[in-house]
């Protein structure tokens, strides 16, 4: 059976950009499950599945609707135990939660700083107005004032990735020899940046950039199906 993924898009349906939806996309591919996607714009999110969620990703698998990227990965491992694991067991689930919090609190704020104006530009008129209003309220500043800080923050952002960078001296993926959901969590954050903005967050020589390229190659180059922002 095909699993339906509600995937966040802007004006261009072929450029899904949400970090959390990318986590779900990679998790579904890791499991080798067939999917169809429902391109969803910000203002459509509250209407999907009868108003089941305020955010995407949301999946429908037969009768089952699952909300939240982490919950989706947990569900997929439980519902499809014969497919490749996303967590490698209970300890893996707990540690993936640490990676999720680290990514959300360390990587997401800087991607927001770097890409917020480009993310606004990706939306159609109605959704751009919603995006500006909701984000300016959340951030307490105009989008243009947020992005003005990106050059000043770049060195500190790159330094903040040192735990990941130094780990990559031991193993090619966060999951070890092969990727797990923890890899897709961090991948989602950097893929969000890659699709939204041409601003270069990582130097090409950075081992984190090399790990990210390995993730782009996974599952038949799924991540590369959307070109980097130019
Ligand atoms: N914890 C949730 C977060 C999902 C989330 O924040 N999704 C954003 C898109 S990246 C969203 O749907 N936002 C709706 C809005 O801002 O109106 C998850 O991991 O799925």
User: What domains, with CATH codes, occur in the chain?
Assistant: 3-79 (3.40.30.10), 90-225 (1.20.1050.10)
31, 228 contact by CB (below 8 A): no
127 lines ligand 1 (CB under 6 A): no
Task: State the average pLDDT over residues 148-156.
Answer: 98
Tell me: pLDDT of 166 over 90: yes
Tell me: pLDDT of 4 over 90: yes
Q: Does pTM top 0.95 for this prediction?
A: yes
Query: Which ligand 1 atom sits closest to the C-alpha of 131?
Result: 16
113 lines ligand 1 (CB under 6 A): no
Task: State the average pLDDT over residues 60-71.
Answer: 98
Alpha carbon separation from 150 to 117, 190, 208, 229 (Å, rounded): 11, 15, 19, 17
Report which protein residue has its CA nearest ligand 1's atom 13: 55
Q: What is the whole-number distance in angstroms between the Cα of residue 214 and the centre of ligand 1?
A: 26
Report which protein residue has its CA nearest ligand 1's atom 14: 55
72-105 tens-digit pLDDT:
999 999 999 999 999 999 999 999 999 999 999 9
29, 218 contact by CB (below 8 A): yes
Q: How confident is the model at residue 24 (pLDDT cuts 50, 70, 90)?
A: very high
pLDDT of residue 1: 82
Instruction: Report the distance separating Cα 54 and Cα 43, nearest Å.
Output: 10
Nearest to 56 by CA among 69, 73, 70: 69
45 lines ligand 1 (CB under 6 A): yes
pLDDT of residue 26: 98
- To test the pocket of ligand 1, the residue of 20, 22, 57 to mutate (highest count of ligand atoms within 8 Å of its CB) is 20
Instruction: Report the distance separating Cα 205 and Cα 6, nearest Å.
Output: 35
Report which protein residue has its CA nearest ligand 1's atom 8: 55
Q: What is the whole-number distance in angstroms between the Cα of residue 170 and the centre of ligand 1?
A: 33
Q: What is the whole-number distance in angstroms between the Cα of residue 8 and the centre of ligand 1?
A: 9
Nearest to 175 by CA among 211, 202, 141, 140: 211
């Amino acid at each position: 059976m095909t699993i339906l993924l509600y995937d966040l898009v802007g004006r261009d349906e072929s450029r899904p950009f949400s970090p959390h939806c990318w986590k779900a996309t990679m998790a579904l591919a890791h499991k080798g499950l067939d999917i169809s996607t429902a391109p969803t714009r910000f203002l459509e999110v509250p209407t999907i599945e009868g108003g089941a969620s305020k955010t995407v990703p949301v999946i429908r698998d037969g009768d089952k609707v699952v909300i939240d990227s982490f919950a989706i990965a947990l569900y997929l491992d439980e519902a499809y135990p014969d497919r490749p694991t996303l967590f490698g067991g209970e300890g893996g689930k707990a540690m993936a939660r640490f990676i999720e919090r680290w990514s959300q609190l360390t990587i997401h704020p800087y991607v927001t700083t770097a890409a917020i104006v480009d993310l606004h530009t990706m939306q159609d008129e109605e959704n751009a107005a919603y995006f500006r209003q909701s984000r300016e309220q959340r951030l307490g500043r105009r989008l243009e004032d947020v992005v003005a800080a990106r050059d000043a923050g770049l060195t500190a952002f790159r330094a903040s990735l040192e735990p990941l960078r130094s780990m990559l001296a031991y193993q090619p993926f966060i999951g070890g020899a092969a990727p797990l959901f923890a890899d897709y969590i961090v991948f989602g954050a950097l893929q969000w940046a890659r699709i939204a903005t041409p601003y270069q967050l990582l130097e090409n020589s950075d081992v984190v950039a090399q790990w990210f390229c390995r993730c782009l190659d996974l599952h038949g180059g799924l991540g590369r199906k959307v070109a980097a922002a130019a």
